[in-house]
Amino acid sequence: MKRGTFFLSGTIILFITLGLQTFADEGMFLPDNIPGDLKGFQLSSEDIYKPGGGGLSDAVIIISGGTGSFVSPNGLVLTNHHVAYGAIQRNSTPEDNFLENGFYAGSYQKELPAPGYNAYITLNFIDITDRVLAAVHDKVSPAERSEAISKIIAQIEKEHENLVEGTVGRVVSMLDGSAYYLFTYMKFKDIRLVYAPPSSIGNYGGDIDNWMWPRHTGDFSFMRVYTGPDGIPAEYSPENIPFNSKTYLTISKQGFERGDFAFLLGYPGMTMRYRTSCSVDWNQNRSLPFRIKIFSNLIDVLEAESKNNAELAIKFSSKIRGLNNALKNNQGMIEGLKKSNLLARKKQMEKEFTRFLNKDRNLKREYGDVLPSMDKLYREHAIGFETDSYLNYLRFASTLSNAITIQKWSEEKEKPDAEREPGYLDFKIPQKRKYMELGFQDYHAPTDAKALKYFLVKMANLPDDQHPEFLRDIIEGRNITDYEKTIGDFIEALYANTGLVKKEECMKMFDLSLAELDALADPFIEFAKKVNAAFKINKKKNDEFNGTITVLRPRYFKALAEWKGGDMYPDANRTIRFTHGTIKGYFPRDGVYYKHITSLRGVIEKNTGEEPFDVPEKLVDLHAKRDFGGYVDKKLRDVPVAFLATTDITGGNSGSPVMNGKGEIIGCAFDSDYESMTSDWQFNDRLTRTISVDSRYILFVLDKFSDAKQLLKELTIK
């Protein structure tokens, strides 16, 4: 891989400010291209990443939807409570509720399986742009281009899956199709829960405090990665052994000062810093408002169903928490986009950009069509937006989602591997099967039916010309006032007469041939066949959009490079990144200043005795007695709980280790502040902050609250 500069089709890309102010702490950098001369950074770039292994990045892993870090040579992983939440929830029962009471294994033998969790270590990454783009040529249609790129990516990923060694490959786009990189990972399939504090610590403040500062949440947990007895990643087995994590991080209890340097390594999900006004407009005025409506209604369905049922409350807790998190994020995103006036600023920048092109005949000829073409593309893509969106959300109903997958797989398996849709190549099928089986742990057919009814009724209330054919078959000839009853009767019959509500029957269907599946005449499968026909039409539309936009955006970046200057870091795409910053507070609004740190005293001050501010009695007693051990901050004269830093993060960074200049863990990142929710679109040094749980609070809770002596002995603490 080329080092030091990011290249685009052989042309050096200069940093593009997009007409916005840029800041010293902005940027999610690939670990082989971290900025130089960082004040307070006492390591070298080689200390962070070495292609052959040995850098600190080897200790930082993808785990489930977040990030984790090895903190012992025995595969012990520090991550967030909310990252481990699914494992805690799926091991909980009304009689033994680990969400409520917390969990500590105390020994390898007592560690609990975390079904559905995988972990990935980045081994290396290389630029494969030439190979990917060689699969397309100028004369193909946009849809053909999109499909060809998807197929070559799937083929490359298939080539780099090595079941013997436990490695997998993942191809990612950099700068919206400007370049393509192959990342190789070691994939671990046996992850276990080691320790989780009770939710009254790990989720203290709940949805009320979520995204807010000041924060008093002990959002941390410990998990462990296991391998087969031979040291190779393997599926869960009692015979498996803890992974020998040769690179692991030290935890510091020395603390820090305001203004100190900090950095983190993690796997941020997605940012859109270089997008045009079309994309901002789409999200601010279409996509985000629609998602908010959907999430709010689904939360209502799940909460109503589980209100007086302890078993369902546990089953649905992870879904409800995830939906609430996304809801608040989307609400804050819209608020922030409007308050910062980003759309208007983008449009103004694009006017200036166009004036620049118009001054040069050659530039105008080469790039003058880019912005108008993007605008036209988005306007065309908006046609049928609500129908397309409801169609995509139908998969929230697990029974229909399974039926869709099974029916599609029965058709795709009849084709040679190379002719299938990329998602149905042989090497991807075991993962589909695994997640389908796992889904039954949280499955409840009556609630699933209500979710499906919600989506179909919403679609039915759209104008007639926006109804997909499968919906017209249900409601045709009916008055709009009868839609809800008609759809309700249809869904009731589906669930009453299908085998898909039973795990065993569902998995049997997954293995049937097309002819065998058709012979069953299962009503849900027959319905899924019609829904898949609608998906096929929708896919063609999306392929047209994606194929066109991945030509236009790289051209746009090249044109901007003619206008601006500097180095360009690629947007986040769930690959490992280095970010740096300073520990400091901020002014959220006029006359208000937020300090950079909170303490245990603040936890006690918020205590109401009721969720989500129900402090455990033992924690209250420890504070009253000032039984703090060696975890006191000298200036606070108290145990520190959470702190702020200007490090640049987004979703996926949850659980990232926050380190001092020596590479020692001083905290575990778990959130951003509400005022910086638009950081996916823009970084603002005045407002953008990472919220992390202080390593001293982690150690204090382990030691004084949970008496987790064995776990503490395993850690390296300085």
182 in Cβ contact with 70 (< 8 Å): no
Residues 433 and 368 in one domain: yes
pLDDT of residue 27: 92
717 in Cβ contact with 253 (< 8 Å): yes
Q: What is the pLDDT of residues 58-68, one digit of tens each?
A: 999 999 999 99
**Per-position b or e across 170-185, b if 16+ CB within 10 A of its CB:** bbebbbbbbbbbbbbb
346 in Cβ contact with 284 (< 8 Å): no
Task: Please say if the pLDDT value at position 5 is more than 50.
Answer: no
Residues 355 and 417 in one domain: yes
Q: What is the pLDDT of residues 598-633, one digit of tens each?
A: 999 999 999 999 999 999 999 999 999 999 999 999
Picking from 508, 533, 560, the residue at the C-terminal end of a domain is: 560
Q: Is residue 167 part of a domain?
A: no
Residues 6+ apart with CB under 8 A from 437: 503, 507
Residues 507 and 377 in one domain: yes
Residues 6+ apart with CB under 8 A from 383: none
Instruction: Count up the domains in the chain and report the number.
Output: 2
* Alpha carbon distance 581, 560 (integer Å): 27
Q: What is the pLDDT of residues 205-226, one digit of tens each?
A: 999 999 999 999 999 999 999 9
This model's pTM is above 0.85: yes
Q: Where are the beta strands (DSSP E) in 102-210?
A: 103-104, 112-113, 119-127, 167-174, 179-188, 190-196
Which candidate, 172, 228, 49, 70, places its Cα nearest to that of 122? 49
Question: Which range marks the domain in which residue 509 is found?
Answer: 277-560
- Which phi and psi angles does 192 have, rounded to 5°? -130, 150
pLDDT of residue 554: 94
Picking from 525, 560, 595, the residue at the C-terminal end of a domain is: 560
Task: Please say if the pLDDT value at position 490 is more than 60.
Answer: yes
Average the pLDDT over each of 32-36, 39-43, 438-442, 518-522 and give the range with the smallest value: 32-36
Residues 533 and 613 in one domain: no
Residues 416 and 505 in one domain: yes
* Catalytic sites, residue numbers: 82, 219, 654
Q: What is the pLDDT of residues 238-257, one digit of tens each?
A: 999 999 999 999 999 999 99
Residues 234 and 200 in one domain: yes
Q: Is residue 368 part of a domain?
A: yes
* Alpha carbon distance 531, 216 (integer Å): 46
* Alpha carbon distance 210, 329 (integer Å): 9
Q: Tell me the percentage of the chain whose pLDDT exceeds 90.
A: 92
Residues 589 and 625 in one domain: yes
Q: Is residue 151 part of a domain?
A: no
Q: What is the CATH number of the domain that holds 44?
A: 2.40.10.120
Q: Give the 3-state secondary structure of residue 430.
A: helix
pLDDT of residue 53: 86
Residues 77 and 211 in one domain: yes
Arithmetic mean of pLDDT, 475-480: 83
* Alpha carbon distance 683, 708 (integer Å): 39
* Alpha carbon distance 315, 442 (integer Å): 5
Residue 695, both tokens? 């390593």
191 in Cβ contact with 114 (< 8 Å): yes
Q: Give the 3-state secondary structure of residue 67.
A: strand
Q: Please spell the DSSP secondary structure of 445-463, one letter per residue.
A: HHHHHHHHHHHHHHHHTS-
Q: What is the pLDDT of residues 102-155, one digit of tens each?
A: 999 999 999 999 999 999 999 999 999 999 999 998 889 999 999 999 999 999
pLDDT of residue 567: 62
Task: Please say if the pLDDT value at position 3 is more than 90.
Answer: no
Task: Please say if the pLDDT value at position 10 is more than 70.
Answer: no
Q: What is the pLDDT of residues 84-110, one digit of tens each?
A: 999 999 999 999 999 999 999 999 999
Task: Please say if the pLDDT value at position 19 is more than 50.
Answer: no
Residues 303 and 438 in one domain: yes
Q: Is residue 420 part of a domain?
A: yes
Residues 443 and 490 in one domain: yes
- pLDDT tier at 52 (50, 70, 90 boundaries)? confident
Q: Is residue 538 part of a domain?
A: yes
32 in Cβ contact with 6 (< 8 Å): no
Arithmetic mean of pLDDT, 479-491: 91
**372 burial via Cβ count (<10 Å: 0-12, 13-18, 19+):** exposed
Q: Give the 3-state secondary structure of residue 144.
A: helix
Q: Is residue 614 part of a domain?
A: yes
Residues 355 and 408 in one domain: yes
Q: Is residue 134 part of a domain?
A: no
Query: Longest C-alpha distance within the chain, in Å?
Result: 77
Mean pLDDT of the chain: 94
pLDDT of residue 565: 67
Residues 368 and 221 in one domain: no
Q: Tell me the percentage of the chain whose pLDDT exceeds 70.
A: 96
170 in Cβ contact with 182 (< 8 Å): yes
Q: What is the pLDDT of residues 342-383, one digit of tens each?
A: 999 999 999 999 999 999 999 999 999 999 999 999 999 999
pLDDT of residue 17: 37
Instruction: Tell me which residue has tokens 């916005």.
Output: 20
Higher-pLDDT residue of 424 and 9 is 424
Picking from 560, 589, 620, the residue at the C-terminal end of a domain is: 560
Q: Is residue 551 part of a domain?
A: yes
Q: What is the pLDDT of residues 530-569, one digit of tens each?
A: 999 999 999 999 999 999 999 999 999 999 888 986 567 8
